[in-house]
Amino acid sequence: MADIVLFFSSNADTMIATKALKDGGVTAKMIPKPAHVTATANLALSLDGAAESMAIAVLGKANVALGGVYK
């Protein structure tokens, strides 16, 4: 499955999400925010699309607000 991009409201939230996902067993790579994504943070997370539902569940459990998903 293709990669998806998760974006957040701040770079700090992106870093917190990276740790939460790692602790939850979801592999994500921090990347610069793609130019076509509208978000205030400069950073985003790229992960395999097959892990989307698990990533959203892990972020919800960790109380990390997801700004959006780009597919």
Sheet with 29-32: strands ordered across:
29-32, 43-48, 3-7, 68-70
- One-character DSSP codes across 9-30: SSHHHHHHHHHHHHHTT---EE
Stated pTM of the model: 0.90
**Alpha-carbon span 3 to 16, nearest angstrom:** 20
User: Domains of the chain (ranges plus CATH)?
Assistant: 3-70 (3.30.70)
pLDDT of residue 12: 95
Return d(Cα 6, Cα 26) in angstroms, integer.
13
Taking only the tens place, the pLDDT of each residue in 16-57 is 999 999 999 999 999 999 888 878 899 999 999 999 999 999
Residue 1: band (very low, low, confident or very high) from pLDDT cuts 50, 70, 90: low
Task: State how far the Cα of 25 lies from the Cα of 41, in Å rounded to an integer.
Answer: 24
